Amino acid sequence: MAEAPEEILSDTGVDNDTEAVSQRYKLLIAYDGSAFHGWQKQEPPDAPVLRTVQGVMHDALLRLFKQPINLVGASRTDSGVHAKGQVAHFEAVSRVPVERMAMAINSRLPEDIEVRQAEAVSPGFDSIRCAVTKQYTYTIHNIDERPLGLRHLVYHYRHTLDADLMNGAAQRLVGEHDFEGFSAAGHGRESTIRTIHRCEVKRDGGQVVITVEGNGFLWNMVRIIAGTLLEVGRGRFEPEHIDEILRTAERQLAGPTLPPHGLCLEWIKHEWTDQEERA
């Protein structure tokens, strides 16, 4: 191998050994959340390490790139929550061409998780800060028959729901509101103001699917929205009750937090410039 004398590097300002350049990458990640304790890597002292999405991804990236990796995910999905479109970023000095990177990572991942796309991005990309819109779905299996093989992917609720009534009520959530009443305590966010761009409830055969798009979500927000719309659909809440929860911001006025396994992070849209942001 030819050596690169120091003066050449300093002369041109370019490292000809491109393998040595650190590059930022954006990953699109899908997973079945059933066997994961959520996204976030947990390293409790003197406790068994829990299997998390970030932890399993981090292990695979370490084995592939053999260097310290800091993987930052856009959404810290809870235990049991699924994703078709989680987005994360990391930086690495990679010998793997970007078009083969997804496959290279996947060959080091178990069957319940997959990188669907890997992309080289400018340092201005940050999976959390550049996220502008996210879409979640919550799926209710709304027939008497048990979901059996799908039981980890849907929430089974037997009493027939009026999806049209739920959809009407859902429109009251659209817009910029204080969603404090639709969030779990201890969310630790400074502001509880969020904008919901779209909230739709549709029946598809035996399933009632709630789709929510917004610029951000508080802790458990989609699951509480789903639980509140369920109360509308079964006739316990009037649609107008939604306005009351928004007005008072009282969590106890809203419906229950539905279980995590009906929830899926569908996609996240990002906007960024080629310039690195310097805070």
Spatial distance between the Cα atoms of 126 and 88, rounded to a whole number of angstroms: 8
Catalytic residue among 78, 112, 204, 274: 78
- Within 122-262, strands assigned E span 131-141, 155-156, 175-178, 193-204, 207-214
E strand or H helix at 187: none
Could you tell me the smallest distance in angstroms from the CB atom of residue 150 to a second copy?
A: 8
Among 76, 91, 96, 112, binds a second copy (CB under 8 A): 112
List the x/- string, 116-135, binding to a second copy by CB under 8 A.
x-------------------
**Torsion from C-alpha of 9, 10, 11, 15, nearest 10 degrees:** 30
126 is catalytic: no
Q: What is the residue-wise DSSP string for 46-76?
A: TSPPP--HHHHHHHHHHHHH-S----EES--
List the x/- string, 151-180, binding to a second copy by CB under 8 A.
xxx---------------------------
Among 2, 148, 185, 279, binds a second copy (CB under 8 A): 148
Does 92 participate in binding a second copy (rule CB under 8 A)? no
Q: 238: closest CA among 246, 247, 229, 249? A: 229
List the x/- string, 22-51, binding to a second copy by CB under 8 A.
--------xxx-x-----------------
Spatial distance between the Cα atoms of 243 and 270, rounded to a whole number of angstroms: 30
Does 114 participate in binding a second copy (rule CB under 8 A)? yes
Residue 59 Cα to chain centre, angstroms: 20
| Catalytic residue positions, numbered | 78
- Which residues make up the interface to a second copy (CB under 8 A)? 30-32, 34, 82, 106, 111-114, 116, 145-146, 148-153
